[in-house]
Amino acid sequence: MPDIGNEEILKAIVAAVELPDSAYEKAKERYEDLGEWLGLPSSNVSKYSPHILPQGSFRLGTAIRPLFEKEEYDLDITCRLETGRTMENTTQTDLRSMVRKDIEAYRKERGIQAPLGEKHRCLRLEYQDHLSFHMDIVPSIPDSLESRALLEKAFSQRAYSASLIQKVSPMASRITDDRSPNYRTISSTWLRSNPEGYARWFEERMLSQTLLKSFQERAQIDALPSYKRRAPLQRAIQVLKRHRDWMFMDMPDSKPISMIITTLTAQAYNGEEDLESTLLSVLTGMERMVNQTKPRVPNPVNPEEDFADKWDDPKYATLRLEENFRKWLLQAKADFNRILASTSPEELRKSANNFSVTLRESEAARLTQGRSPSLTSPIVIIPKDPPKPWMDL
């Protein structure tokens, strides 16, 4: 059984790092407004059955507030044209140009002052009001039937359930990338992407039988999942991402990326139904989920993608990405143990600081009242001076 005191302390940390309601509602409002705009008969893409889907941490329910107030909130979405456009009749630049025209018209109509941003794989809307916020829009089209059939075969070899394969493979997409050598020509070498398939894989990993009924399939603007319903896996990822942000505050380029943390945490999750047990399980098991050979951290729904591809890339050698991942994981274990071992307000406040959470003295006193050290078995011996991140200079 989980320690009730530990669970309350950990949930207090989650509450401190979660998005404020106002930020989530603003993101939802803007996402839905853009989706409705792209579906208007006057838009360039409306005749191709545009399907607007959220992706990333908003879609997974693992978004956290920025570490510093000056940082921007971000929402990633896919604009997928379901009909009429394929790799056989469209170039990447044609698709990008078509979507860009509609997004630019939307920007002007809504009075967004910042110019439309051009990223390698997406278009960026920069909102400049009381909430620093940007939205990245990824143009995409469905993958070919032949390619999806190969994906289904690969998924069956990974022992995915038939129901999961049916959810994931139809969502396989192709996206634009202006670095592609065939960006301006008809080609079958578009990058593959499947953020919605990843989200459905994540949901299957997340849901225990007791939670299944309260997280039904959500279905064309897909609704942002409710941020007020959090499964233990989602909460654990929020805690770990915030710990990562705090540890790498001074060297953000060296930190483990969110997709590595999210994927390894989901793979190490064993269906625990409380936050303490979930963190104990995933911190113990994450390292075993890293492959010794390439792909080191494969995308579970895209065999072509390795989330850890930069680990062995000479261009990123000075960042020491793999070493810093392992140092972060060791530090996270140590700091998690410190939370469990905190028996006084002072100890708890100091431990919470490692998750960039400042507890009020009264709150720390309440959470530690009558508290004795946790009986939970430690997952690592706490080093006197836990390792710090580093990179070559």
Task: Report pLDDT digits (tens) over 92-135.
Answer: 999 999 999 999 999 999 999 999 999 999 999 998 776 678 99
Find the DSSP H helices in 136-274.
145-157, 162-168, 195-206, 209-212, 232-247, 258-268
CATH number of the domain enclosing 90: 3.30.460.10
256: Cα within 13 Å, side-chain hemisphere: 32
Weakest-pLDDT range from 224-228, 337-341, 367-371: 224-228
Weakest-pLDDT range from 14-18, 150-154, 385-389: 385-389
Q: Are residues 233 and 372 in the same domain?
A: yes
Q: Is 377's pLDDT higher than 60? A: no
Q: Is 237's pLDDT higher than 50? A: yes
Q: Is 228's pLDDT higher than 90? A: no
Question: Mean of the pLDDT values across residues 28-49?
Answer: 94
Q: Which of 162, 194, 223 is the last residue of a domain?
A: 223
Q: Is 43's pLDDT higher than 70? A: yes
Q: Are residues 113 and 216 in the same domain?
A: yes
- In 10 A of CB 212, how many CB atoms? 12
Question: Mean of the pLDDT values across residues 156-183?
Answer: 95
Report residue 27's pLDDT band, with 50, 70 and 90 as the boundaries. Answer: confident
Q: Give how far Cα 20 sits from Cα of 43, 135, 238, 284, Å.
A: 33, 18, 14, 30
Q: Is 393's pLDDT higher than 80? A: no
Q: Are residues 109 and 236 in the same domain?
A: no
Q: Give how far Cα 239 sits from Cα of 16, 163, 180, 330, Å.
A: 10, 30, 36, 15
Domain membership of residue 308 as a residue range: 1-18+227-393
Instruction: Say if CB 107 and CB 34 are below 8 A apart.
Output: no
Q: What percent of the chain has pLDDT over 70?
A: 87
Q: Are residues 39 and 2 in the same domain?
A: no
Q: Are residues 279 and 264 in the same domain?
A: yes
Task: Report pLDDT digits (tens) over 329-356.
Answer: 999 999 999 998 999 999 999 999 888 8
Weakest-pLDDT range from 54-63, 183-192, 256-265: 54-63
Q: Which of 198, 223, 248 is the last residue of a domain?
A: 223
Q: Are residues 80 and 110 in the same domain?
A: yes
Q: Are residues 241 and 184 in the same domain?
A: no
Res 381: pLDDT? 43
Report residue 384's pLDDT band, with 50, 70 and 90 as the boundaries. Answer: very low
Q: Is 81's pLDDT higher than 70? A: yes
Q: Are residues 142 and 153 in the same domain?
A: yes
Q: Is 217's pLDDT higher than 90? A: no
- 188/275 Cα distance (integer angstroms): 44
- In 10 A of CB 280, how many CB atoms? 23
Q: Are residues 148 and 179 in the same domain?
A: yes
Using omega within 30 degrees of 0 as the cis cutoff, is the peptide bond preceding 295 cis? yes
* Structural domains of the chain, count: 2
Q: Is 208's pLDDT higher than 70? A: no
355: left (phi over 0), alpha (psi -120 to 50) or beta: alpha
Q: Are residues 27 and 176 in the same domain?
A: yes
Q: Is 321's pLDDT higher than 90? A: yes
Please name the amino acid found at residue 251: M
